[in-house]
């Protein structure tokens, strides 16, 4: 999983450079994208567990999601920039073979699609539950 996040970081880093022509701080864009994926993953798991175990108290922790996301974003920014660790991630990306890159590309697309779809499906599920059980 760590290798997948490194790959997603490197691809979003290069995406920022090529699309936005940003050459000064693309590591912040990449770190933000990876943080978004991690936070979404954790929130999906917590909300699903909450839905299955505590159906009466749905969304009790909703107000803390933004603080958790902000704290994790700051942590990831410091982690990536500490001793220019982002250069190690990019070097790791440059050292993997084309076959591994292709495999990681497929895994990252599947992972991000499943994450995106499950986020909205779980949101719809929780919304329907809250409407039907006031």
Q: Report pTM.
A: 0.86
Domain extent, residue 114, equals: 2-132
The number of domains in the chain is 1
Element (H, E) at 12: helix 2-20
Q: What is the pLDDT of residue 129?
A: 75
Q: What is the pLDDT of residue 40?
A: 92
Half-sphere exposure of residue 12: CA atoms within 13 angstroms, side-chain side = 22
pLDDT 10s digits, 21-74: 888 899 999 999 999 999 999 989 888 887 788 766 656 666 788 899 999 999
Q: What is the pLDDT of residue 36?
A: 94
Span 121-128, mean pLDDT?
82
């Amino acid at each position: 999983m760590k290798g997948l996040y490194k790959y997603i970081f490197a691809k979003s880093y290069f995406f920022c450079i090529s699309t936005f022509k940003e050459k000064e701080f693309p590591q912040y864009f990449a770190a933000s994208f990876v943080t978004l994926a991690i936070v979404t993953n954790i929130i999906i798991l917590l909300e699903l567990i909450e839905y299955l175990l505590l159906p009466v108290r749905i969304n009790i922790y909703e107000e803390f999601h933004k603080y958790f996301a902000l704290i994790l974003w700051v942590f990831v920014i410091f982690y990536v920039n500490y001793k220019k660790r982002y250069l190690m991630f990019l070097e790791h990306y440059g050292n993997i073979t084309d076959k591994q890159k292709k495999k990681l590309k497929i895994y990252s697309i599947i992972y991000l699609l499943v994450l995106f779809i499950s986020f909205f499906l779980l949101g719809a599920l929780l919304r329907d539950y809250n409407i039907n059980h006031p």
